[in-house]
A and B are shown apart, each in its own frame.
Chain A
Amino acid sequence: MTSVAGTPTITFTVNGNIESHVGDPFQRLATILRDEFGLIGTKIGCDAGDCGACTVLLDGRQVCACMIPLGQIDGTEIVTVEGLGSSDNLAALQRSFLHHGAAQCGICTPGMLIAATELLAKDAMPSKAMVEDALGGVLCRCTGYIKIVDAVVDAHQFLAPPVADSPTSETVGTPHPRVDGNAKVTGQDLFGADGAPSDALWLRPVRSPHARAVFKLGNLDAFCTAHPGLEAVLTAADVPGENSFGVYPDLKDQPVFADGAVRYRGEVVLALVGKRTAVEAIQFDALPIKWRVEDPVTGVTAATATEAPAVHISHPDNILVEGGLRKGNIDAGFTAAAAISEGQIQTAFVEHAYIEPEAGFAKRVGNRIEITACTQAPYMDLDECARVLGVGKDAVRIIPSACGGGFGGKLDVSLQPLLAIAAWRLQKPVRCIYTRVESMASSTKRHPATIQARAAADQEGKLLAIEMTADFNTGAYASWGPTVADRVPVHGSGPYFVPNVQIQTRSIYTNEPPAGAFRGFGVPQAAILQEQLYDDLALELGIDPFEFRYRNAIRAGLPTATGQKLEASVGLVKCLDALQPHWNKSRAEAARQNENHGGSRRRGVGIGCMWYGCGNTSMSNPSEIRISVSNSGRVTLFNGAVDIGQGSYTVILQICAEALGLPPSEFDLVHGDTDRTPDAGKTSASRQTFVTGKAAYLAGRDLRSQILRLANAGEDANIARHGSTLRVRDTGHETTIDLTDLPAIDEHGTVLTGKGRFDPPTTPLDENGQGNPYATFGFAAQIADLEVDMELGTVHLHRIIAAHDVGRAINPSLVEGQIHGGIAQGIGLALMEEYIPGRTENLHDYLIPTFGDIPEIDVLLIEDEEPLGPYGAKGIGEPALIPTPPAIFGAIRHATGVKVTRVPLLPHRLLEALKSHDA
């Protein structure tokens, strides 16, 4: 092609097809592939070459499609994930991904597959190290990378054509492949950015660059007229209902559009709606906004100073909420102590860093609004959007898209109210995709915690008391701040029997990003200090830290800090039993190594334990599941438990299938849609397997008993479906139910419906925080084995051994995936991740762990069955992360003697601590 400066024709092949494109040679390949060729398997996670989600092959080599101007690809050959294999003819690598459970949310999967394809073309049987290097530029936030590496290493074993799957009757307890796995490994799952109508207008939120300011808007009508293609500029004045949202019914403190004042950098001031090119071309400085910038309130110390300005006039002291717990007599505990430890820590904001930025679209259908977006909480989205629009809840329909990672960050509404207002006002479909920078600047974060605590034990190493005060920086808006203030007192003494406990928490407003839900609601932060103090006590008393935990571990029948007596499924001791040989071996090896080598590296082995209540704290949080059978023999599972990558669509099906007695392949699946599925609550609080899973079990049993009644068969009868009949075989005789004979109860021909509802039993907490906040708890203990480079302050993880009491592993592969991913996030929290507003709003300044940062992980699944749970199961999402940082810090301390006081323990902080420790 010759030199051109206009709009040349560019010819290239995509997945073997010759394509021509006329257009701006500067357009990105990623955009063209998605928008012009409909190849939505190429995902865009950062648009800056940092995440690798858009990786494609260019002449056989992996490149970021977001970094390739179209003008460069004339005459080249492009391969996208769609070119690897189709859903009915998967490539070996894709089948290996499915088999290994290497895709969780699936947003990074196409990039991983493409990067692996370049490697496998060169070497069909690569080593793990080669895989880690070749895929090292693609970020994953869900899996912890281990299953991805395994899948690529093993891909050659899937080269033979697949044998047709024989329908299996085994369901619960087997590693059933993800039901949405095929769509994920082919890149065809529709995420928030993928399914918008082609005529949708583009919405671009305009955000405050200031953490605290008041502002005035100029003539927006004139501005709109002056910008062809811009259809509307929406502001607080355009909100039809209430301009506020929030997760608590009585705490709607966050505006959809800031109304004259902004409280954090990243807050929405207005929204530009129109043609994409038009709204994107508008420069921030051109907007008629007059700012008066004020000094922001930064950090909890400044926020609680007497002269601090209020972030909200409703809370003049900036204290959003206080929480607390009082058990026994704290002073008596310390008076009787043989050893007392004290400490304090400061943690940072942590970004969820899901690889899918917030995205979605909305359309108005008559006098209803339909919103499709990535979310963890469709019913909460529905309630919020109805309030914001000022319409009844029956006028809102939420259809969750596939969710490219959430981890708590997609529990709050983000763009849903903006889309709802725009589509409602303009009566046209409207879409929006947050940029990476905007996602990071505006979304909720893990609460920075400022924690002081002391603990006491007697001569035998029995814990006597723990006292803790914790301030959580909840940022500009409440979000889940009250939840953190409530969760931490319950969990703050750790999974141990402690007779005297006093814990006080506060959630404090600042002019910083709203801190919300993030895998553990404050418990991971508190666990770091609590576990450190117990290590202190063990050391002081000359007791091995493992033994110390064993002696104090909570056991069935002992009261918790809230006075709750857990009678079953208290599996910490079993976790410790499983870890004991590993502990002994690793500690002995470490001692030998440190003795023999004088070099700059010291090895350390530490342990962290945790407990975590499944479900909401002392609150009703029911889930409902429905199954229908139609007169044509269709069995449909209506499951509203949004799968954000963890696998709830699969697990709920497994439970339901087992309870009903039909194989999973018999089910049609309807997911998420608030018009069609009953409310299964939020995907949060490690509740979906336990709560919705139980509802699914009950629904399955309900339908089963109806069928057995129709057939007059006994409990153990076998049910099979043949066309539109059900055949029920009881000892020796078979009854056929002709479904076409049954009366249909709706227009879909439904003849039978099974329903299940479960609300975990809890009691309210009294003024001392006493009561039964959760129906069940997950338990875990993890060992970290690592080396510290004493000269560089760097930490080199060798191995994490994770023992988790999950009650029952409904799907062991998915459970392992959760544990790997939780550990990876725990590593990030402990050693790497620190969100600084305005400074780390992208994925090269904000680092999350990548392949090379994840050590070997051994997962030991402990199944101490929970009688309330479905087949004994309880949650794993948050428990996976919580023990990792304490285990790492315990190991660093074992290696070096240094106690963490500031998290993350970046190399320069560790080095400073090493210096002052030696001094």
Chain B
Amino acid sequence: MLREFELDLPGDLQETLTRLPGGTPLAGGTNLLVDLRARREEAKRLVWLGNIEAFRDIKIDKAHVAIGGGTTVGDILRNSAMIDAAPSLVGAARVFGGQMVRNQATVAGNVCSGSPAADTVPPLLSLDAEICLASSTGVRSVPIDSFYSGFKKNQRKQDELITGLSWSVPGPSTANLFYKLARRKGDAITVVGVAVTVTRDGDRCSDARIALGAVAPTVFRAKDAEAMLTDQPLTEELIDEAARAAMAQSNPIDDIRASADYRRHTVHMLTRRLIGQAWRSLAGKEADK
């Protein structure tokens, strides 16, 4: 039984922003409603975001992607341009809950929930996405890399709303991959999530981003590992070394889904696999040039 809530149903963005102070934004509700029912979350007044016009718009041009704050995980899958604009995010969307959850859950909500196991977050970190936050007093943009400050803590102020996310389309010399390790195939909480972006310039890796999920209080970038790869030719040895560095930066917990040791080990294995896979896929493209 739900407690007595007030459900606010503002008609547009401006009205939504004026209602946010003291309220909790409600988008797909696939986390929030469950947590409220289980009394893990408290909320007095929920502000529904579903009436905001064009809130689910997706804009993709040659270089840039922008999705509205109401974009659902299902919307990501239904947009055929997204497979090139955010391969890792599409990969995450495919293994995100069941289709009935994907149809409700929003990307911004997943980002905002701050769970270290949130599946869209490693891809967005690997894409170096920007988060657009709005309140009735103004608009600001925060790189997702600096958005999280601790377990389920982030930079969003109570009266702010994520109105959109944006990132650059990976170029032809960039590979962007995601892998979710979970205890069953589909519709399961992530044990380890890894997203990588590798850009190749000739025989060298010019840029690498490695984002790790469910192995620390927040999803994070394994920057030690990234630094080891940057401006280097990627040998199997170097990839393994970097993957070990990613493992060293992980700080997972033991829980019912897996042991901490297992998570650390699989960070090593999956990072190695994904970087290797990305690098090899680009090697093919280099040869085609």
Interface centre among A133, A281, A908 (most CB of B within 10 A): A908
Give the distance in Å from the alpha carbon of A1 to the alpha carbon of B9 in the complex.
Answer: 8
The reply to whether the CB of A249 lies closer than 8 angstroms to some CB of chain B is no
Q: Let me know if A3 and B188 touch, CB within 8 A.
A: no
Contacts of A183 in B (CB 8 A): none
Q: Are B1 and A850 in contact (CB under 8 A)?
A: no
A657 CB, min distance to chain B CBs, angstroms: 40
Q: How far is the CA of A280 from the CA of B186 in the complex (A)?
A: 33
B183: contacting residue among A3, A58, A115, A832, CB under 8 A: A832
Asked whether B269 lies within 8 Å of A3 as measured between CB atoms, the reply is no
Cβ B184 vs Cβ A72 within 8 A: no
A69: chain B residues at CB < 8 Å are: 7, 26, 29, 33, 48
> Which residue from A2, A133, A793 sits with its C-beta under 8 Å from B99?
A133
Indicate if the CB atoms of B181 and A847 lie closer than 8 Å. no
A853 within 8 A of B: yes
A67 and B29 within 8 A (CB): yes
CB within 8 Å for A908 and B258 given contacts A5-B8, A69-B7, A850-B184: yes
Q: Which residue of B lies closest to A836 (CB)?
A: B256
CB atoms of B261 and A792 under 8 A apart:
no
Check A115–B100 contact: CB distance below 8 A. Answer: yes
Interface residues of A in 451-485 (CB under 8 A from B): none
* Cβ A63 vs Cβ B186 within 8 A: no
**Does B6 contact A850, Cβ atoms closer than 8 Å?**
no
Instruction: Say which residue of A134, A281, A836, A847 sits within 8 Å of B188 (CB atoms).
Output: A847
Q: Is the CB of B101 within 8 A of A137?
A: yes
User: B29 contacts A792, CB within 8 Å?
Assistant: no
Q: Please report the C-alpha to C-alpha distance between residue A185 and residue B136 in the assembled complex, in whole angstroms.
A: 50
Please judge, given known A-B contacts A62-B100, A134-B99, A908-B261, whether A280 and B1 are in contact too, CB under 8 Å: yes
Interface string of A805-837 (1 = CB under 8 A from B): 000000000000000000000000000101010
B97 touches A137 (CB 8 A): yes
B21 proximal to A (CB < 8 A): no
B74 within 8 A of A: yes
Residues of B within 8 A of A26 (CB): 2, 5, 7, 46
Contacts of A281 in B (CB 8 A): 1
Q: How far is the CA of A887 from the CA of B275 in the complex (A)?
A: 35
Interface mask (A268-309 → B, CB under 8 Å = 1, otherwise 0): 000000000100110000000000000000000000000000
B98 interface neighbour in A28, A52, A849, A907, Cβ under 8 Å: A52
Taken together as a complex, chains A and B put the C-alpha atoms of A262 and B74 apart, in Å, by 46
Q: Are A853 and B11 in contact (CB under 8 A)?
A: no
Interface-side segment among A162-170, A636-644, A838-846 = A838-846
Given contacts A25-B9, A137-B101, contact A792 B256 (CB under 8 A): no
Interface residues of A in 24-77 (CB under 8 A from B): 25-26, 28, 47-50, 52, 55, 58, 61-64, 67-69, 71-72, 74
* Complex: A68 Cα to B186 Cα, angstroms: 22
Which residues of B in the span 188-214 have a Cβ within 8 Å of any Cβ on A? 188-189, 191
Contacts of B184 in A (CB 8 A): 832, 847, 849-850, 852-853
Say which residue of A3, A64, A794 sits within 8 Å of B9 (CB atoms).
A3
Residues of A within 8 A of B262 (CB): 793, 907-908, 911-912
**Is the C-beta of B230 less than 8 angstroms from some C-beta in chain A?**
no
Residues A839 and B29 in contact in the complex (CB < 8 Å), given A3-B9, A62-B99, A137-B97: no
Contact B15 A3 (CB under 8 A): yes
Interface flags for B241-273 (1: CB within 8 Å of A; 0: not) read 000000000000000101101100110011001
B34, CB-defined interface residue at 8 Å: yes
Are A48 and B183 within 8 A (Cβ)?
Answer: no
**Is B183 within 8 A of A906, CB to CB?**
yes
Query: A74 to B7, alpha carbons, bound, how many Å?
Result: 13
Could you tell me if A64 and B94 are in contact, using CB atoms closer than 8 angstroms?
no
Q: Which residues of A contact B188 (CB under 8 A)?
A: 844, 847
Distance in Å: Cβ of B110 to nearest Cβ of chain A = 14
Residue A791 CB within 8 A of the other chain = yes
Interface pair B256/A839, CB less than 8 Å apart: yes
Instruction: Please classify how large the interface on chain B is, using the bins under 10, 10 to 19, 20 to 34, 35 or more.
Output: 35 or more
Specify which chain B residues have a CB less than 8 angstroms from the CB of A134 in the assembled complex. Answer: 99
Decide if B185 is an interface residue (CB 8 Å cutoff).
yes
Overall SS of chain A's interface = loop
B19 within 8 A of A: yes
- Given the interface pairs A25-B7, A63-B100, the reply to whether A133 lies near B94 with Cβ below 8 Å is yes
A133 to B273, alpha carbons, bound, how many Å?
Answer: 25
Residues A136 and B19 in contact, CB atoms below 8 Å apart? no
Min CB distance A445 to B, Å, is 16
Q: Are A72 and B50 in contact (CB under 8 A)?
A: yes
Determine how close the nearest CB of chain B comes to the CB of A910; give it in whole angstroms: 10
Shortest beta-carbon distance from A438 to chain B in Å: 13
Within 365-412 of A, Cβ neighbours of B (below 8 Å) are at: none
A324-343 CB mask vs B (1 if < 8 Å, else 0) is: 00000000000000000000
Select from chain B the residue with minimum beta-carbon distance to A851.
Answer: B186
Is the C-beta of A4 less than 8 angstroms from some C-beta in chain B? yes
Q: How far is the CB of A616 from chain B (nearest CB, A)?
A: 35
Inside 8 A of B191's CB, which chain A residues have their CB? 907
- Say whether B143 faces chain A, with CB atoms less than 8 Å apart: no
Q: Are B30 and A67 in contact (CB under 8 A)?
A: yes
Q: Are A3 and B100 in contact (CB under 8 A)?
A: no
Q: Would you call A118 an interface residue if the criterion is a C-beta within 8 Å of the partner chain's C-beta atoms?
A: yes
Bound Cα distance A726, B176 (Å): 75
Q: Are B10 and A49 in contact (CB under 8 A)?
A: no
With A26-B2, A832-B184, A906-B183: A3-B10 Cβ-Cβ less than 8 Å: yes
| Residues of chain B with a CB closer than 8 A to A61's CB | 74, 103
Contact partner, B6, options A5, A28, A839, A840, Cβ 8 Å? A5
Q: Determine which of B15, B34, B186, B273 lies in contact with A136 in the assembled complex, contact meaning CB atoms within 8 Å.
A: B186
Partner of B258, one of A4, A58, A67, A906: A906
A119 closest partner in B (C-beta): B99
Q: A280–B265 Cα gap in the complex (Å)? A: 45
B42 at the A interface (CB under 8 A): no
In the complex, A912→B10 CA distance in Å? 53
Q: Are A67 and B186 in contact (CB under 8 A)?
A: no
Given contacts A3-B15, A118-B99, A134-B99, contact A840 B256 (CB under 8 A): yes
What residues of B have a CB within 8 angstroms of the CB of A708 in the complex? none
Give min CB distance, B230 to chain A, whole Å.
25
B104 at the interface (CB under 8 A from A): yes
The chain B residue sitting closest to A55, CB to CB, is B100
B-contacting residues, A117-137, CB 8 Å: 118, 133-137
- Residues of B close to A64: CB separation below 8 A: 30, 100-101, 104
Given contacts A3-B15, A47-B37, A792 and B5 within 8 Å (CB-CB): no
A137 partner residues in chain B, CB cutoff 8 A: 97-101, 186-187
Q: Are A115 and B99 in contact (CB under 8 A)?
A: yes
B149-197 interface with A by 8 A CB criterion = 181, 183-189, 191
Chain A 886-914 interface 0/1 with B at a Cβ cutoff of 8 Å (1 = within): 00000000000000000000111001100
With A48-B37, A277-B1 already in contact, the answer to whether A2 and B11 are too (CB < 8 A) is yes
Q: Which of these, A3, A136, A906, contacts B187 with CB under 8 Å?
A: A136
Q: A48 with B34: in contact, given A115-B100, A845-B256, A907-B183 (CB under 8 Å)? A: yes
Q: State A144–B100 Cα separation when bound (angstroms).
A: 20
> In this complex, what residue of B is CB-closest to A854?
B185
Least CB distance, A203 to chain B, in whole angstroms: 14
Interface residues, chain B, with chain A CB atoms under 8 Å away: 1-2, 5-11, 15, 19, 26, 28-30, 33-34, 37-38, 45-46, 48, 50-51, 74, 94, 97-101, 103-104, 181, 183-189, 191, 256, 258-259, 261-262, 265-266, 269-270, 273
Contacts from A to B (Cβ < 8 Å): 1-5, 8, 25-26, 28, 47-50, 52, 55, 58, 61-64, 67-69, 71-72, 74, 115, 118, 133-138, 277, 280-281, 600, 791-794, 832, 834, 836, 839-840, 844-845, 847, 849-853, 906-908, 911-912
13 interchain pairs, CB-CB under 8 A: A3-B11, A4-B9, A5-B7, A47-B37, A48-B34, A52-B100, A61-B74, A68-B104, A72-B50, A792-B266, A792-B270, A850-B185, A853-B184
**Given A61-B74, A67-B101, A69-B29, 5 extra CB contacts under 8 A:** A1-B9, A5-B6, A62-B103, A63-B103, A907-B258
